Amino acid sequence: MPDNGPVVGVLALQGDVREHQRAVSECGLRSALVRRPAELAEVDALILPGGESTTISRLLVAFDLMGPLRARLAEGMPAYGACAGMILLSREILDGTADQRTLAGLDVVVRRNAFGRQVDSFEADLEFEGIPGGTVRAVFIRAPWVERAGSGVEVLARVPEIPAAGGAAGRIVAIRQGCVLATAFHPELTGDRRVHQLFCEMVRRSRVGACR
């Protein structure tokens, strides 16, 4: 890996941090763990991993990361959030806890635990806009979905409109807005690196101007 290439931070307060780190390194970029404001200042992009969104939100506040992270996002730092990460990046949370804070990096309203409890967690194949080579195997774990998306938000994947999907049919589960990408599911849990490659490509392009 080139020493001067961009460094992708992985927010390491709680969650499946190592899996995202491994995925980034397999995509050919350097990675670093971020738990402190000084560590955030040194990365070029940030992944918010899967985990418990209420826990991560509290720790972001407790360790003085909420403000600096909002500021970096406002400056256009590329970010990718998976599941809990998508919740944290949203503008508004439905079914969250009363004091749960968000980073407002994406103009979306998300519903937490939208698909139900763990016994309802599932995997399925999804068509994913902008990812070549066929469907993506998506692992949904007590996952959120996007309830409403602003006009600047690009929808990349939805739950297939099949009878088995029930009330979830057609729900938005992957989005992009500017330099920020989010999925309701966990590509880091499968060996398929195409979603992380898409993000790493956005990170590389952000260095020469636009993320896409």
Partner 1 sequence: MQADNSSIERQIGTARVKRGMAEMLKGGVIMDVVTPVQARIAEDAGAVAVMALERVPADIRAQGGVARMSDPDMIASIMEAVSIPVMAKARIGHFVEAQVLQAIGVDYIDESEVLTPADEAHHIDKFAFTVPFVCGATNLGEALRRISEGAAMIRSKGEAGTGNVVEATRHMRAIRTAIRSLTTMASEELSAAAKELAAPLELVREVAAAGALPVVLFTAGGIATPADAAMMMQLGAQGVFVGSGIFKSGDPAKRAEAIVKATTFHDDPEMVAKVSRGLGEPMVGINLGELPDGQRLAQRGW
Catalytic residue numbers?
83, 186, 188
Output 120 or 201, the one with its CB closest to partner 1. Answer: 120
Q: Can you say whether residue 183 is alpha, beta or left, with left for phi > 0 and alpha for psi between -120 and 50 degrees? A: beta
- The angle subtended at Cα 135 by Cα 130 and Cα 139, nearest 5°, is 105
CB of residue 14 vs partner 1: minimum separation in angstroms? 4
What's the token pair of residue 103? 């980073």
- Residue ranges that bind partner 1, judged by CB under 8 A: 12-17, 19, 35, 50-52, 54-55, 58-59, 62, 83-84, 95-97, 112-113, 117-125, 139-142, 160, 162, 164-165, 186, 189-190
CB of residue 206 vs partner 1: minimum separation in angstroms? 28
Q: Sign of the CA dihedral 8, 23, 184, 131?
A: positive
Output 25 or 113, the one with its CB closest to partner 1. Answer: 113
User: What's the DSSP call for residue 168?
Assistant: G
Cα–Cα distance for residue pair 111/51, rounded to 1 Å: 16
CB of residue 38 vs partner 1: minimum separation in angstroms? 13
User: What's the DSSP call for residue 58?
Assistant: H
CB of residue 159 vs partner 1: minimum separation in angstroms? 9
Cβ atoms within 10 Å, residue 183: 28
3-state percent helix, strand, coil for the chain, nearest multiple of 5: 30, 25, 45
Output 75 or 99, the one with its CB closest to partner 1. Answer: 99
